Amino acid sequence: MLSAPRFLQEKTMQTAQEKIYTFNTVVTGRCNTACSYCHFYATRDRKSVAYDISDKLFEIYMEFIKRWSEKVEGITSYRFSGGDPMVLGDRLFNLSNTAYQKTGIKPFMLTAGKRLSRKWVTAAQEASIGHVFVSIENPILPDPTAPDPNKVINAIKSFTSEKMPIVPGVCVVPRSAYKHLPEICDWFYYHIGLIPLICEVNYAPYESPSDRELEDLSRAIEVVLAKYFDKTPLNLFSSVVPEYAYGGIDPYLCDLSLDNHHGLTLDKIDEKIDEMLAHIESVNYPRLACNNKDCDWQEFCTNTKWYWQGDGRNEPEVKLRDYCRHKKAISGAFYRTLIDSSYIDGTGLISPNHSTWTPRAIL
């Protein structure tokens, strides 16, 4: 069993409300997997974005990150994503070295891990990559087009080290697997002593859960909290309940896309920083207009992740309704488990003092 890497331990001990700004730098539109729920290709044609970032745009982005870190109070970090950065081969290491020399900050990387190998990790250790987050399928209902979670978890266990931490990034749990959340968490904790960020299927592939699936989710979260709350950091559905995640850090994520949708240029970076900083809260978390003053969780819904307010396939009224349903089910589970077992969450689904179950072992 692995202990939490030092960089993860340190992040859980930051001062409350310290801000961290992470820039999602898309270095390629190519990918060697075809996950059915992928949000990147949900609104893009794979062929039309099957190209890599230009050296010129990369130079602009690194200069932007450098100046942001110098100008804006808080923690600045950035990651290489896509697509899958590993398809860049050796150019990925060249980009990471260039980025570190420019910014003084090591990038980290998001990958599906299909090309993880001893040779790749050795090369990455010699380059300037800080750490690697590997998206990994849930072991109960894995997407058949995604890398095998058993192979990925074995690669993580084999290759991770303090010098080059390789840890699970995001584990997507579809609504049909909400009831299996305890088994999923057990599997991760058994193998690596950690539970990764758990999130729902969202963006355009999103589908509304049934009342039964939300009840399953609420009950499952109670089981997970009771078992793991005092053992390991938990980040469960943070797009719905960010107030329970990130160890007191106030996170902001901004995309730096292949098409430079922010319109960044070398001669106007300072002006763009001022512009983005002025609207940072609404870039990914726009205001939510909710007049339900009687809701126990209303004060935590002033801003919500943008895709909960419509995603191009699902209408805003559908997504906002489902956001509210998820919020009540998840928050109610936290409150019942940690504060008051008799609490009724307002969904009309869960009654107080209901029984939970013992998940089956899949280890």
Checking if the pLDDT of 348 tops 90, the result is no
Position 360 scores a pLDDT of 45
86 falls in which pLDDT band (50, 70, 90)? very high
Mean pLDDT, residues 143-153: 93
- Residues above pLDDT 90, as percent of the chain: 68
C-beta atoms surrounding 357 within 10 Å: 10
Q: Could you give the C-alpha distances from 6 to 90, 108, 162, 330, in angstroms and in order?
A: 27, 15, 7, 29
pLDDT in tens, 233-257: 999 999 999 888 876 677 888 999 9
Checking if the pLDDT of 2 tops 80, the result is no
Position 347 scores a pLDDT of 67
DSSP states of 269-338: HHHHHHHHHHTHHHHHS-B-----TT-TTGGG-SB--GGGG--SSS-HHHHHHHHHHHHHHHHHHHHHHH
Checking if the pLDDT of 87 tops 80, the result is yes
Which residues, listed in sequence order, are joined to residue 100 by a DSSP beta bridge? none
Question: Which residue did the predictor score with more confidence, 352 or 152?
Answer: 152
Question: Which residue did the predictor score with more confidence, 246 or 146?
Answer: 146
Position 55 scores a pLDDT of 98
Mean pLDDT, residues 63-76: 96
C-beta atoms surrounding 349 within 10 Å: 20
21 falls in which pLDDT band (50, 70, 90)? very high
Number of residues that make up the chain = 363
Is the Cβ–Cβ distance between 199 and 237 less than 8 Å?
yes
Can you tell me whether residue 158 is helix, strand or coil? helix
Mean pLDDT, residues 206-229: 96
Position 10 scores a pLDDT of 47
Position 311 scores a pLDDT of 87
- Residues above pLDDT 70, as percent of the chain: 90
Mean pLDDT, residues 1-15: 43
Is the Cβ–Cβ distance between 15 and 178 less than 8 Å?
no
B/e letters for 209-248, b = 16+ CB within 10 Å, e = fewer, are beeebbbbbbbbbbbbbeebeeebbbbbbbbbbbebbbbe
Is the Cβ–Cβ distance between 240 and 10 less than 8 Å?
no
pLDDT in tens, 304-336: 888 999 888 889 999 999 999 999 999 999 999
What distance in Å separates the CA atoms of residue 138 and residue 167, rounded to the nearest whole number? Answer: 14
| Domain residue extents for the chain | 6-11+18-338
DSSP states of 206-227: --PPPHHHHHHHHHHHHHHHHH
CB proximity list for 236: less than 8 A, separation 6 or greater = 198, 221, 224, 244, 245, 330
> Hey, what CATH class is 6-11+18-338 in?
alpha beta
DSSP states of 110-155: EE--TT--HHHHHHHHHTT---EEE----SSS--TTSPPHHHHHHH
C-beta atoms surrounding 37 within 10 Å: 19
